[in-house]
Amino acid sequence: MKLRKVTAASAAVFALALTATACGGDDGDSGSSSSGSGSDKIKIGIKYDQPGLGLKEPGGSFSGFDVDVATYVAKELGYGPDQIEWVETKSADRENALSRGDVKIITATYSITDERKEKVDFAGPYLLAHQDLLVTSDSDITEATDLNNKKLCSVTGSTSAQNVKKDFAPKAQLSERGGYSECLSALQTGQVDALTTDDSILAGYAAQDQYKGKFKLAGLKLSNENYGIGVKKGDTETVNKVNKALEKMVSDGSWQKAVEENFGPANYKNEQAPKIGQIVK
C-alpha cells in the first residue's frame, strides 16, 4: 500500500516535470521564431505592392518572382510554404528590418550596392535587371533619346526619370505620379509617352491581366541592377546556405520557370541567371 503511494507521487512529479520542460521548449522556439530564425517559422521580407515581383493578393495570398525565389530558398533551408511568414518590407526600412531581426532574409528587388553592403550582407545576385522604358504597343519610341520633347513618367522621389533626362534626353518632360499604377493609367490614356524604372518592375505591371498586349518594353539597358537577397550583417552561414539554394534553383530549371510565369506576358527578355557573387557594374 505504501509502495503504491510513493509510485503515484513519483509519477505525478515526473508528469509535472515533463510539462514544465515542454513549456520551456515552446517559449524558446517562440522566441527564436519571432526573430526569423526559429525552427517553426521563417520571416521573409518582401514588397506587397509590386505585381510580378512581390504582391499581396486580395485574398491574402502572395505572388511574384521574388515570392517564388524566397519560397524555393525557404524550402532548401527546411521550411515549407506554410512555415513562411511574409513581412512587408519597404525600401527605406530594409536595412533596419534585418539589423533588428524582424526578418531572416529580404527578397524585395534589393539591388546590391557598395553602400548597402556596409550595412547588410547579400546572397546572390539572383536577377540582373536594367532600367528601361515601358511604352504602348504601337509606340515608335525605341531609344532613350526619342524622349526629347515627350512626357516621361515615374514615381515621386525616384531618380530613374531624372537619370534619363540628365544622360539621354535633356528635353524630356518629367511627370511624377504617386505610384506606378498611376503612371500606367496615364500611359494608357496618352497623358504620358513612357514610364521608366527597372525592367523587371515594368514587366510585372505590364503582365497584369488588364494590361496584357497594351504595353511593351523598349528593351534598353540604361543601368544594371543586381538583385540580391539581404541577410543580417555577419550571418555568413545563412548567406552560404541561400547561395547554394539559388544555385540549385537555377540548375533544376525552377528559376527560368519562375521568370516565364511572372514576366512572360510582357515579353520580358531577361538576362541569364547571374553567377553567385558576380556583380555587373
pTM of the model: 0.80
- The pLDDT score that the predictor gives to residue 53 is 96
pLDDT digits (tens, 9 = 90+) for 33-63: 334 444 699 999 999 999 999 999 999 999 9
Q: What is the structure's pLDDT at 264?
A: 78
Confidence at 1, pLDDT banded by 50, 70, 90: very low
Task: For residue range 111-132, list pLDDT tens digits in order.
Answer: 999 999 999 999 999 999 999 9
What residue ranges define each of the domains in the chain, with the CATH number in brackets?
Answer: 42-129+225-266 (3.40.190.10), 131-217 (3.40.190.10)
The three cell numbers locating residue 48: 506587397
Predicted local confidence at residue 33, as pLDDT: 39
